[in-house]
Amino acid sequence: MRDYTYINNPQRFSLPENGNWRYYRRDGRIYRVDSQTQRIQRIYNERR
């Protein structure tokens, strides 16, 4: 995912960690992406 920031500490955003996914953020949104298929599984609004 280009122009997205990888989230290496999901606890900081109170995100679930179990699973085969990674989190990225951009423009106030957090994307949960399957680490094998690279498909977006869920989109969260970032809490401010």
Structural domain spans, the chain: 5-45
pTM of the model: 0.84
Write out pLDDT tens, residues 1-48.
568 999 999 999 999 888 899 999 999 999 999 999 999 999 999 875
User: Tell me, what's the pLDDT at 10?
Assistant: 93
Nearest to 23 by CA among 7, 1, 3: 7
d(CA 12, CA 44): 14
Which tokens hold the place of 35? 């680490």
User: Tell me, what's the pLDDT at 15?
Assistant: 92
User: Tell me, what's the pLDDT at 1?
Assistant: 53
User: Tell me, what's the pLDDT at 47?
Assistant: 74
If you search the block for the tokens 């989190």, which residue do you land on?
A: 23
Nearest to 20 by CA among 4, 8, 9, 33: 33
User: Tell me, what's the pLDDT at 43?
Assistant: 97
